[in-house]
Amino acid sequence: MDRRTTLALTAVAALALALAGAKLWLNPSTMSTARAVEQRGAFSEAERGAIEIFERVSPSVVQVAARSGSNPLSEEEGPSSSGTGFIWDHRGHVVTNDHVVQGAKTVALRFASGEVAEAEVIGVAPNYDLAVLRIRNARQPPPPFALGSSADLKVGQAAFAIGNPFGLDQSMTSGIISALKRRLPTSSGREIANVIQTDAAINPGNSGGPLLDSAGRLIGVTTAIISPSGSNAGIGFAVPVDIVNRVVPELIRTGRVPTPGIGIVAANEALATRLGIEGVIVVRTAPASPAERAGIRGVDFASGALGDVITELNDKPVRRLSDLTDEIEQIGTGKSVKLTVKRGSQSRNLDVEIVDIGR
């Protein structure tokens, strides 16, 4: 056998071995057993906290499905809406947003267990975008949340939202409280004061769900987002729990919450800015209202003369309408306040009663 033939045979043998090796490598029957799973270390403190919060409170979060028609199978009886709610007490009351159940004839709840129950709307507060539902069929509801306070919240502290974004139930997101004391307009034309801003992801379907602190306590009710696309853009808002804890018991008792006021129609803040006025310009007073009885004057449209400007309430400065309405809501109906009113170059003090202007 000459040298050339020997080299050829050697090359063929090498190729055969290579192909055999490739076949052995790719043949599942010749593969080794599955690799051993390496055990992970302990969860970090932050992870343990988030897991504990979800496992403890998520059973108390429900999906809310509302429909304006009586037949849930009909697409012609009116639109449907979906949001989130949470157990408020052991009597089966559920809190959600007013805009989630607005105009609803039928409301259904889906619990974390998958169980579905009917509910009825027993009270709404459009001024605060809050509503209370009651579970109709007898059942033992999951436990309510522990309540926190929104008065001592700090920008930068952790925040957790649990809800049903895009119908994906039992979803949890986390972030921080990114701002406090925001003002949020409602469909009723008023503003909610001291609203919490968070960057925890909030999307359509989260409305009415809980915002929690790192101890798992309720600190707010998620209600709105700012987003050009309609999805999370890192700016979400929640009604502070101190307002919720004041409004919800009243809704359970009476089905409504009083709207404290003195009976004035105020000018737009932009007008006050253009005129260089710091305070609330009174356009007119409601007939037989406390403001009218106290002698407060509105704009004289015949002459174009400016009316009274409210500059203080109980010796606290009033620079914009929200300063006035916030204080009046905190004081409540049935009490009187001292208003400092500027008319022309003169100022005077007036005692004005606070009444329920929502009746």
| pLDDT single digits (tens) 61-102 | 999 999 876 665 555 555 578 899 999 999 999 999 999 999
Among residues 227, 254, 281, the one where a domain terminates is 254
Interval 31-42 mean pLDDT: 84
119: domain CATH number is: 2.40.10.10
Helix, strand, coil in percent for the chain, rounding step 5: 25, 35, 40
CA neighbor of 268 nearest in space, from 189, 186, 358: 189
Rg (CA), the chain: 31
Mean predicted lDDT score pLDDT of the chain: 86
| pLDDT single digits (tens) 186-231 | 766 677 888 999 999 999 899 999 999 999 999 999 997 765 656 5
Residues 172 and 229 in one domain: yes
310: domain CATH number is: 2.30.42.10
Interval 281-292 mean pLDDT: 93
Q: Which residue has the higher pLDDT, 143 or 13?
A: 143
Residues 230 and 280 in one domain: no
pTM for the predicted model, two decimal places: 0.76
Q: Which domain does 318 fall in, by range?
A: 260-356
Residue 235 placed within a domain: yes
Residues 204 and 289 in one domain: no
Residue 9 placed within a domain: no
Residue 229 placed within a domain: yes
- Catalytic residue list: 99, 129, 207
Q: Calculate the CA dihedral of residues 270, 280, 358, 238 and round it to 10 degrees.
A: 60
Residue 214 placed within a domain: yes
CA neighbor of 170 nearest in space, from 140, 210, 132, 198: 210
Residue 4: pLDDT band with limits 50, 70, 90: low
Residue 216 placed within a domain: yes
Residues 168 and 245 in one domain: yes
Query: Alpha-carbon distance 250 to 241, whole Å?
Result: 14
Residues 250 and 308 in one domain: no
Residue 24 placed within a domain: no
Determine the pLDDT at residue 52. Answer: 95
| pLDDT single digits (tens) 128-166 | 999 999 999 767 889 999 999 999 999 999 999 999 998
Residue 168: is its pLDDT beyond 80?
Answer: yes
| pLDDT single digits (tens) 93-118 | 999 999 999 989 899 999 999 999 99
Among residues 254, 285, 308, the one where a domain terminates is 254
Structurally, the chain folds into a number of domains equal to 3
Residue 338: is its pLDDT beyond 90?
Answer: yes
Residue 232 placed within a domain: yes
